[in-house]
Amino acid sequence: MRIALAQLNYKIGAFTENVEKMVSAIREAKQHHADLVVFSELSVCGYPPLDLLENKSFIDRGTAAVGDITKETDGIAVIIGLPTLNTQKTGKNLFNSALFIADGEIRCECHKSLLPTYDIFDEYRYFQPADKVAPVQYKGKKIAITICEDLWFQQPLLTNFGKHKIYTSDPMKMLGAESCDLIINIAASPFAYNHEAIKTEILRANAGKYKTPIVYVNQVGAHTELIFDGGSRVLDADGRNVLRLKSFIEELAYFDTDKPVVSHQNSEPSDTDRIHRIHDALILGIHDYFRKMRFSKAVLGLSGGIDSAVTLVLAKEALGRENVRVLLMPSQYSSDHSVSDAIKLAENLGVRYDTLPIKDIFNQFLDDLGELFRGTHPDIAEENIQARIRGTLLMAISNKFGNLLLNTSNKSEVAVGYGTLYGDMNGGISVLGDVYKTDVYKLARYINRENEVIPEHTLVKPPSAELRPDQKDSDSLPDYDLLDQVLYQYIERRMSGDEIIAAGFEEGMVWKTLSMVNSNEYKRFQTPPILRVSSKAFGFGRRMPLVAKYF
């Protein structure tokens, strides 16, 4: 059997556009003599549709779209994903389904059994799990059709409570008893830089356990915070990769089940590979957010610091230099090097830059507030005024010319609240909000791997917000090398303060850091959407109460 793996980029709710894309792939697959085309999870409507699933018209449009796809299946079969109605009088209204369509008719409707309800996933909010599973017969092959998480029964959920399995039934155990010839898994598996090794092991383990080849088809593209890297593949019965599609791009590839292939293993990614993948993921995230939101132009504040520099390079790669402009907004506290570094970077990239000094505007604020501030000393209030002036100027450009503002805050700053609401925390999308400061520097080095794009001085000078004389981030925060390690243990690994201290970190620094994280939840609640590249990003995958007292 010749199988086409359709790794495509969908748009949530764009039924006509999605179906046109799928029909085009079916027609191309026919030209390449494919017997079966496999699309990803909820491909008809896009993933994740969230509360759109509560609108009957949304479900009806998906059902209607199936008819357009079915018309194209003369002489070929397809597997598509969409929400379908639960006709029983009990349970949730919908199933997350895979439809097997061949020769103009729906042959089988397979429902997802394991519904994830952790981190970014909340599928049990909408879907009823399957109460039974069965293979599909086609072209002399017995095929087990599974949907994403259905292969993840064996995953251990690592928490402070220890490792344990999160599901009570295993659909693959039931399908495995049927002695299937092939396992097909349609997926919508989001990117995280440390997810590839886990995914690879899950797929290998299932192929090896059931001694059955696996065809895994994942979607590609970005939907707001979530970035999907594709990485669709075929594994043989021993769990070895025999076909691997590229990451972060659309691709239609073919696999013949009856032809011998040369197996090859992918090595585990090095730290350079990790940074490379984060780099490519962020570019895709920016590109798709703009394209799917129908924006074309971006603006950001270029300070001469590392965060805005990396954000600008990524935006230029995603949108084109002609679609990005920057504002330089120096104050009396800005160093000459910061201004010259910013200008040099803008000129290196060929993007438009304008300089709007804020000294006079800031002084006018101080004059107007002079009576109210009488008897006080300059502090964070004056610092935040500068950040908010810059935010206002950037939003003026955004409103006047339609350039979407890119937020440049990194994960370390977002975690500890080192930012100003309605100032440098402004933006339509946060590019680096899931990238720790130490990794921002690695991204900059990766960008400069062949030639100096970001000025070297930007990479070596001590980081500073430059909101008061001789200010440095280290005045308020631990060194980022230490801070990021503590933040990673607390946020990604969910370790307690006592556990982090026991791991060798200084007690005072740990409790200060955790206090800053916990007390700034209200700020993060008001930040723009953050492009997710880690296993635990700020946003709807990390739900914390705003009003709480807990360590």
* Domain chopping of the chain, boundaries: 2-257, 274-473
Q: Over the stretch 53-84, which tens digit does the pLDDT of each residue have?
A: 999 999 999 999 999 999 999 999 999 999 99
Average pLDDT value for the chain: 93
Question: Quick one: pLDDT at residue 98?
Answer: 98
Per-residue pLDDT tens for 475-522?
888 999 999 999 999 999 999 999 999 999 999 999 999 999 999 999
- Sequence-separated (6 or more) residues with CB below 8 Å from residue 420: 383, 384, 387, 388, 391
Given a cut of 70, whether residue 162 has pLDDT beyond it is no
- 418 vs 457: CA distance, rounded Å: 23
pLDDT at residue 473 in the model: 81
Q: What is the pLDDT of residue 469?
A: 84
Give the tokens for residue 518. 């916990």
User: For residues 338 and 305, is the Cβ–Cβ distance under 8 A?
Assistant: yes
Can you tell me the distance from the alpha carbon of 254 to that of 312, in angstroms, rounded to the nearest whole number? 38
- Average pLDDT in the 126-143 region? 94
Q: What average pLDDT does range 270-276 have in this prediction?
A: 80
Residue 332: is its pLDDT beyond 70? yes
Model confidence at 270: pLDDT above 70: no
* Arithmetic mean of pLDDT, 328-346: 91
Q: Is the pLDDT confidence value at 85 over 70?
A: yes
Which pLDDT score, from 0 to 100, does residue 268 have?
46
Distances (CA, A) of 50 to 19, 83, 127, 192, 430: 20, 11, 11, 20, 21
Instruction: Report pLDDT digits (tens) over 199-215.
Output: 999 999 999 999 999 99
User: Does the pLDDT value for residue 548 go beyond 90?
Assistant: no
Q: Cα separation of 184 and 189, whole Å?
A: 15
Q: Which residues of 16-27 are buried (b: 16+ CB within 10 A; e: fewer)?
A: eebbebbeebbe
pLDDT of residue 267: 47
Closest CA to 445 of 435, 455, 436: 455
Of 328, 294, 324, 292, the closest CA to residue 311 belongs to: 324
Q: What percent of the chain has pLDDT over 70?
A: 95
Half-sphere exposure of 487 (CA within 13 A, CB side): 29
Q: How confident is the model at residue 462 (pLDDT cuts 50, 70, 90)?
A: confident
> What is the C-alpha to C-alpha distance for residues 227 and 244, in angstroms, rounded to an integer?
19
Q: Which of 266, 251, 239, 246 lies closest to 183 in space, CA to CA?
A: 239
Pairing of strands 233-235, 241-244: antiparallel
| 112 among known catalytic residues | yes
For residue 135, is the peptide bond before it cis, meaning its omega torsion is within 30 degrees of 0? no
- How many residues belong to the chain? 551
- The 3-state DSSP class for residue 361 equals helix
**What's the CATH class of domain 274-473?**
alpha beta
What average pLDDT does the segment 263-283 reach? Answer: 76
| Short-list 240, 221, 217, CA closest to 229 | 221
Strand runs (DSSP E) across 230-276, as ranges? 233-235, 241-244, 251-256
Mean pLDDT of the region 529-549: 92
Cα–Cα distance for residue pair 127/190, rounded to 1 Å: 19
pLDDT at 337: 86
Catalytic residue among 148, 292, 437, 536: 148
Is 97 in a helix, a strand, or coil?
strand
Q: Indicate if the pLDDT at residue 547 is higher than 90.
A: no
Per-residue model confidence (pLDDT) at position 281: 98
Decide which of 3.60.110.10, 3.30.930.10, 3.40.50.2300, 3.40.50.720 is the CATH code for 2-257.
3.60.110.10
Task: Give the pLDDT confidence score for residue 260 in this predicted structure.
Answer: 63
Lowest mean pLDDT among 62-76, 81-95, 154-168: 154-168
Higher pLDDT, 385 or 551: 385
378-406 mean pLDDT? 96
Q: Do the Cβ atoms of 219 and 43 come closer than 8 Å? A: yes
Same fold, 2-257 and 274-473: no
- Is the pLDDT confidence value at 254 over 50? yes
Q: 466's torsion region: left (phi>0), alpha (psi -120 to 50) or beta?
A: left
Q: In what order do the strands lie in the sheet with 94-102?
A: 105-111, 94-102, 77-85, 36-38, 2-7, 251-256
Query: 344-357 pLDDT, tens per residue?
Result: 999 999 999 999 99
pLDDT at 157: 58
**Model pLDDT, residue 164:** 61
Q: In whole angstroms, give the CA distance from residue 183 to residue 44.
A: 21
SS (H, E, C) 146-175: EEHHHHCCCCEEEECCEEEECCCCCHHHHH
Contacts of 50 (CB under 8 A, 6+ apart): none
Q: Enter the pTM of the model.
A: 0.94
Catalytic residue of the set 21, 72, 108, 112: 112
Query: Minimal CA–CA distance to 410: which of 428, 441, 433, 427?
Result: 433
- Catalytic residue, chosen from 21, 41, 383, 411, is 41
148 included as an active-site residue = yes
What's phi and psi for 443, nearest 5 deg? Answer: -60, -40
